[in-house]
């Protein structure tokens, strides 16, 4: 059997074709995932059919067509320096791997590849490795079909978002909880009606989206990539290097945030198939699968302390909220500004490119949340926003809101009467709340017996973990109180064990939603694994540039070597343009290119 090639520059029409079985090869060429016929340059794409129900793999069973994407390899698969494929997942749950690859694959490739130019034979050795970076949209999400769709079209989906945001986050008003509770109820009912009523219907996807099922899909991807490499003709000869064939039979994986849960689940289900696995921003599997999702925010508020310290250190030229009275005064100012807008929203006049807007406490807390996740990119902007709000100026936030909801131009086919179809959406829609529910609520036990009193108690418990994130984080579980779709296939666990190769966990000292304690706990679950701590703030180690951490990740993928127990890497940069521990970093060959990639990732987090 001839393996499928990865084609380039294909229009989207094929992407929207039926996902019924068509006697496909294991890895079929398909659309390069352009938006409505536009092309995505410099990427190669494929689709892989997997069973909708892994308990029913008959040839006439329903299929899911998993969309995959990768940038072209730097070396051919027949080259002994080819290190195989590293699969990446952005988290979410429900995040688009296609978007991650389009935005960051080249930068991530720079981190894992040998620093030597593969065309420079004076510097490259056979032991230098160059990897394919492969990503995919998990079932029900993004460009993978069928899609998990609970709205007739993208315009109505966007209207829902706008109305939800206008009603405010939990705690923003006396009515916010009741409004959100009712919204989650009707959304869960809509998804049950569209995606799970009858197992024989086209839309019976909702029972097949939980994490263990995606782990099974990922195993199929690894197997298909292995077959594709082995069976595809090389440049003038058949590729038969048995050592390379064996290496790609085990997964090479880099998961971020929820992607770490997908990684640990895969490792627990298939411990003998773990090759290299980097898990950055570690989710506590016990809390996730228990459906509580508490205990994650214990380090979030300490990042605000760092914001105040760095602001004072940076001075008035870099931090608009600077005060010569010290970092504690800056912290107090931040709290006062947030409190001031709670009962006094800011009206913002029109501009040449934006209509009138109203800035609320929910908008400001959203900016705080973004800064906690990405300090390198967002601390300076948050300081400017806070200062402006203190002056009753909401222009910066208003400008951000104006581009948050892009115009949804529906296709003629959708407008002519084809609602709920892929033609009514422009994928990928990242982190849609119903997709998060379809995955997270399916992973957890049935929670439909949860009462309002139960949820209010849970909300208060999470608020105690973090003043700044508790209200927003608490809403994540609410949809599960009404989620009636239950998974057909589950994995009983436990999450842990002995893998064929050790896992590398990575955690920041201060991560707002995946604490260092999570990384410590999960590393203890997997024998021989190692935890790398990066002494920085933000969600994921790649949110703050660290040459030290990047070198360790590169060495791990290149050779399998783990850092010493207790290794703590400094950040090379800090927020507000401040320097990290650069004096302890001796620059090596290729580090300038590595640093450029790290800064690019940290400046445009997905």
230: preceding bond cis by omega (within 30 degrees): no
Tens of pLDDT, residue by residue over 242-298, are: 334 444 479 999 999 999 999 999 999 999 999 999 999 999 999 999 998 889 999
**What's the sign of the alpha-carbon dihedral 219, 225, 231, 237?**
negative
User: What per-residue confidence (pLDDT) applies to 33?
Assistant: 52
What is the dihedral sign for C-alpha 557, 563, 568, 570? negative
At 325 the three-state DSSP class reads: coil
Cα four-point dihedral sign 543, 548, 552, 555:
positive
Please name the residues in contact with 604: beta carbons below 8 A apart, sequence gap of 6 or more: 103, 104, 377
12-146+206-265 belongs to CATH 3.40.50 = yes
Structure tokens, 95: 């995040």
Residue 376, number of CB atoms within 10 A of its CB = 26
Q: What is the 3-state secondary structure (H, E, C) of 47-73?
A: EEEEECCCCCCCCCCCEEEEEEEECCC
pLDDT of 200 = 54
530 sits in which H/E element: strand 530-537
Residue 209 and residue 198: Cα distance in Å, rounded?
16
Q: What is the pLDDT of residue 61?
A: 82
Q: What is the pLDDT of residue 401?
A: 87
User: Strand, helix or coil at 317?
Assistant: coil
254 near 108, Cβ under 8 Å?
A: yes
Residues 322, 333: Cα–Cα separation, whole Å: 10
Closest CA to 474 of 177, 97, 219, 201: 177
Phi, psi (degrees; rounded to nearest 5) at 536:
-155, 180
Closest C-alpha among 364, 450, 440, 455 to residue 178? 455
Are the C-beta atoms of residues 111 and 594 closer than 8 Å to each other? Answer: yes
The alpha carbon torsion through 174, 176, 182, 183 (nearest 10 deg) reads: 170
How far from chain centre, in Å, is Cα 285?
Answer: 16
CB atoms within 10 A of CB 406: 10
Residue 235: the pLDDT is 42
Residues 6 or more apart whose CB falls under 8 angstroms from that of 325 comprise none
What CA–CA distance (Å, rounded) separates 275 from 338?
47
- Cα–Cα distance measured from residue 4 to residue 18, given in angstroms and rounded to the nearest whole number: 19
Token digits of residue 535: 């002494």
Query: With a threshold of 0.85, does the pTM exceed it?
Result: yes
Q: What is the pLDDT of residue 421?
A: 82
Sketch the domain layout of the chain as residue ranges: 12-146+206-265, 300-404, 499-603
DSSP 8-state symbol, 586: -
Three-class DSSP labels, 426-459: CCCCCCCHHHHHHHHHHHCCCCCCCCHHHHHHHH
What residue ranges of the chain have pLDDT lower than 70? 1-41, 123-124, 197-203, 229-248, 427-431, 583-585, 606
First-to-last alpha carbon distance for the chain, in angstroms, is 38
Q: Tell me the DSSP string of 378-436.
A: HHHHHHHHHHHHHTT--HHHHHHHHHHS------HHHHTT-TTSGGG--S--TT-HHHH
Q: What is the pLDDT of residues 344-393, one digit of tens each?
A: 999 999 998 889 999 999 999 999 999 999 999 999 999 999 999 999 99
CA-closest candidate to residue 110, choices 557, 501, 507: 557
Question: DSSP secondary-structure letter at 538?
Answer: S
Q: What is the dihedral of CA 562, 554, 540, 515, to 10 degrees?
A: 0
Contact 532, 567 (CB under 8 A): yes
């Amino acid at each position: 059997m001839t393996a499928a090639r990865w084609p380039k520059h294909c229009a989207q029409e094929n992407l929207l074709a039926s996902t019924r079985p068509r006697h496909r090869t294991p890895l079929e060429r398909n659309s390069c995932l352009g938006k409505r016929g536009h092309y995505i340059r410099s990427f190669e794409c494929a689709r892989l059919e997997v069973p909708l129900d892994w308990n029913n793999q008959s040839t006439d069973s329903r299929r899911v067509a998993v969309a995959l994407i990768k940038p072209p390899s730097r070396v051919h698969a027949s080259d002994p320096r080819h290190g195989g494929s590293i699969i990446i997942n952005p988290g979410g749950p429900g995040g688009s791997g296609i978007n991650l690859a389009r935005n960051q694959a080249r930068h991530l490739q720079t981190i894992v590849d040998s620093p030597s130019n593969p065309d420079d034979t004076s510097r490259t050795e056979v032991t230098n490795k160059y990897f394919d970076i492969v990503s995919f949209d998990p079932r029900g999400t993004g460009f993978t079909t069928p899609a998990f769709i609970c709205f007739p079209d993208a315009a109505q989906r966007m209207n829902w978002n706008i109305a939800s945001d206008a009603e405010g986050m939990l705690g923003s008003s006396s009515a916010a909880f009741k409004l959100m509770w009712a919204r989650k109820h009707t959304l869960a009912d809509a998804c049950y009606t569209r995606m799970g009523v009858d197992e024989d219907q086209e839309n019976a996807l909702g029972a097949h989206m939980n994490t263990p099922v995606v782990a099974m899909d990922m195993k199929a991807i690894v197997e298909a990539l292995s077959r594709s490499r082995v069976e595809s003709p090389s440049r003038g000869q058949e590729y038969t290097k048995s050592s390379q064939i064996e290496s790609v039979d085990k997964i090479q994986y880099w998961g971020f945030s929820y992607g770490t849960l997908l990684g640990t689940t895969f490792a627990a289900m298939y411990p003998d198939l773990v090759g290299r696995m980097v898990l950055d921003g570690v989710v506590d599997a016990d809390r996730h699968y228990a459906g509580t999702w508490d205990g994650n925010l214990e380090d979030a508020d300490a990042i605000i302390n760092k914001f105040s310290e760095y602001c004072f250190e940076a001075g008035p030229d870099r931090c608009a909220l600077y005060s010569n009275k010290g970092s504690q005064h800056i912290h107090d100012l931040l709290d006062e500004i947030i409190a001031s807008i709670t009962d006094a929203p800011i009206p913002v006049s029109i501009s040449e490119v934006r209509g009138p807007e109203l800035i609320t406490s929910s908008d400001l807390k959203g900016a705080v949340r973004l800064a906690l996740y990405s300090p390198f990119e967002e601390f300076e902007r948050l300081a400017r926003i806070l200062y402006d709000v203190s002056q009753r100026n909401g222009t910066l936030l208003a400008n951000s809101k104006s581009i948050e909801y892009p115009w949804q131009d529906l296709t003629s086919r959708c407008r002519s009467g084809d609602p709920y179809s892929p033609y009514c959406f422009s994928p990928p829609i990242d982190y849609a709340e119903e997709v998060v529910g379809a995955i997270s609520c399916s992973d957890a036990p049935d929670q439909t017996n949860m009462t309002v009193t139960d949820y209010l108690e849970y909300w208060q418990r999470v608020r105690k973990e973090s003043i700044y994130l508790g209200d927003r984080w608490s809403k994540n579980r609410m949809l599960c109180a009404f989620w009636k779709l239950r998974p057909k296939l589950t994995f009983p666990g436990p999450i842990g064990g002995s893998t064929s190769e050790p896992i590398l966990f990575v955690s920041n000292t201060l991560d707002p939603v995946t604490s260092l304690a999570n990384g410590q706990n999960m590393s203890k679950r997997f024998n021989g694994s190692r935890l790398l701590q990066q002494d920085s703030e933000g969600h994921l180690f790649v949110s703050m540039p660290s040459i030290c951490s990047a070198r360790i990740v590169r060495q791990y993928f290149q050779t399998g070597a783990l850092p010493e127990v207790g290794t703590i890497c400094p950040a090379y940069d800090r927020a507000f343009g401040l320097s990290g521990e650069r004096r302890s970093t001796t620059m090596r060959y290729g580090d300038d290119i590595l640093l450029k990639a790290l800064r690019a990732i940290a400046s445009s987090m997905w």
